[in-house]
Structure 1
Amino acid sequence: MATLHSPAVRGGRLRALLYVLPALIVVVGIVYLGIGYNAYVSTLEWSGIGDDRRPVGIDNYIGVFTDPVFWTSLSHVAIFAVVTIAAQMAIGLTMAILLSGRIFLGGVYKVVMFLPVVLSPAAIAVAFRDILSPGGGLNEALRAIGLDGLTRAWIAEPETALMAIAVINIWAWTGFSFILYQAALAQVDTDLIEAAQLDGAGKLRTLWSVVVPQLSGTHATLVLIGVIGALKTFDIVYLTTGGGPGRSTEFLTTYIYKTAIDGFQAGYAAALSMVLLLLSLLLTLIQMRANRFGRS
């Protein structure tokens, strides 16, 4: 029998290390070193090109927290996160319940629900930019049913642009919530459902009081993924509105991009991105703690 220090065991450990080495190189060499370098750049006044770098310490971070555009962008992310997460979870759960039984062409409906998730965000953004334009499909449909008064330039007006982007995101990612809820519903304890029905609980009461609480782990997972997704949302916003009109749809990611690429302020953009990273970590820890507390 091989001992822990035998050549066979050491050889097995070496082979295991070789298997994980590529992933280790990627994580350490690209992710962690990249974060470290970004933290270093955040302490500089630097355009991002050339060698003209001047250390400024924490001045960039002080500038971030006194920057009104930063707070405006953060408020947009918060509104976007609340709207999209709530809608995606509600629609995803509803569709998962409706399609959980034996339904004619149920497999087709499930594919249709999940299809937007695998589409390219660039393609989705371009398509919806056309649909939501003044002469686009949505306004044409409204005119066709006599609702001309509701037509507008949905992504070109500050009052509607942010909600229009939220609707695009909901359409694109509700299928992900649907799939997770479908999997979770398959693990629901049917004995509790039968007991509730024997006690006289109706379908809605059983659903709300028995089924939904058993999906708490899925709820927490979707909230966590949704918050992180909202913080890093970039492509759909940039390709539809570019953060406009004005700054009505400015997100942290689009502001970072504009600051670094258009404004040639690499140091300040790096500080913004470090704040974004810390926000993501903080919210993740809070949600994990809340989920753990809820289970205890």
Structure 2
Amino acid sequence: MRPSGLPWILPAFVFVVGILYYCIGETGYLSTLDWDGTSPTPTSVGLQNYQDILVDPIFWQAIWHTVIFFLVTFTAQTAIGFTFAALLHSKVRLATVYKVIVFTPVVIAPATMAPVFRQMFAADGQLNWFLDHVGLGFLSQPWLAQSSTAMPVIMFITVWNFTGLTFVLYYAAMGQIDPEVLEAARTDGASNLRTLVSIVWPGVRSTTVALAMLSVIGALKTFDIPYLVTIGGPNYATEFLGTYIYRISIPSAHVGYGAALSIMLLVLALLGAIAVAARSNRKDGESGV
């Protein structure tokens, strides 16, 4: 007997299997080729592209950048987003205006804001001009032209761009906490800080886990901001897997190697999401949730 719900899920199932999984399979096939993307006779190289990846220093440098990028941006976005959500859940005047201000960067396209930040952090940009005019000229430097500061700038832009999303999710999650529990805590003499740490923060734990999973995948997929602002430079200082895949596949025309990098990206994203979910489930088991 045919399941009654099959007609409803069949279009989505066909779409996912026919397009998404087909593309993954096709990328996996391309990863076994030595191909420039246009030649009619690609050469099969088996797993050679994957062997080359394992000894590719730029690949490992991109992985290291991804790890640092995730740790810094996730921590900053979580701290700022949670703080803003907690503040705007209190009695604040013009709360709606503040919500709009915090969330606005999320809807700004990276291609629009990238030229602004390139100009701001340029050697003759607004940041150095401001530092010079407030007596901090000794801090002026070419922020995007040196390896030591290019990555922090990319992290800053990312935190500015996506903290609004973290704020919205935390704000919604805090709205689901039983007000009677908060009122009971205040009646028992708990301070605001104590209430946040002992009640609100555990109450939004599932949101934090979801944000961690999204951040892991997002860090691995990072492309637009570093490419548009620094093009992965200087000297690969802001190179990520996304920017590396693009440079290898399009300008350098090593489509097979780029496809192998894409498969590695997919595997790492899945492993990262599974690791975060497994850690969350293990904590739930230890706490008896």
TM-score in terms of structure 2 length? 0.93
The aligned runs of 1:99-248 (5 Å cut-off) are 99-248=88-237
Return the alpha-carbon distance in structure 2 between the equivalents of residues 276 and 44 of structure 1: 18
User: Equivalent of 2:60, from 57, 71, 93?
Assistant: 71
**Residue correspondence of structure 1 range 35-74 to structure 2 within 5 A:** 35-74=24-63
Q: Deviations over 1:155-180 (max 9, x none)?
A: 11100000100000000000000000
Q: Return the offset for 1:25.
A: 4.1
Aligned to 2:78: 89
What SS class does the counterpart of residue 256 from structure 1 fall into?
helix
**How well do the aligned residues superpose, as a CA RMSD in angstroms?**
1.7
Q: Distance in 2 between matches of 1:240 and 1:280?
A: 24
Aligned residues: 285
Farther off after superposition, 60-69 or 197-206: 197-206
Distance 1:210 1:105 in 2: 26
**Which residue does the alignment assign to 2:87?**
98
Which amino acid is 2:217 matched to? I
Secondary structure in structure 2 of the residue aligned to 1:99: helix
| Cα distance between partner residues in 2 of 1:24 and 1:50 | 34
> Shift of residue 213 of structure 1?
1.0
Distance 2:69 2:60 in 1: 14
Tell me, in whole angstroms, the C-alpha distance in 2 between the residues paired with 1:31 and 1:128: 34
Structure 1 position 13, deviation (Å): 5.7
Residue matched to 1:284? 273
Q: How far does residue 53 in structure 1 lie from its aligned partner after superposition?
A: 1.3
Name the aligned partner's letter for residue 28 of structure 1. V
Whole-Å separation in 2 of the counterparts to 1:208 and 1:13 = 46
Q: Kindly state the Cα deviation for residue 293 of structure 1 after the two structures are TM-superposed.
A: 2.2
Give 1:123 deviation, angstroms.
Answer: 0.8
Corresponding residue of 2:240: 251
Instruction: Output one character per residue of 1:33-89: Cα deviation in whole Å (capped at 9) or x when no partner.
Output: 111000001011111111231111111111111111100010011111111110001
1:160-202 CA-to-partner distances (Å, cap 9, x unmatched) read 0001000000000000000001001111133333333343322
TM-score normalised by the chain length of structure 1: 0.91
Q: Which runs of 5+ in 2 are unaligned?
A: none
Distance 1:141 1:26, change over 3 A: farther
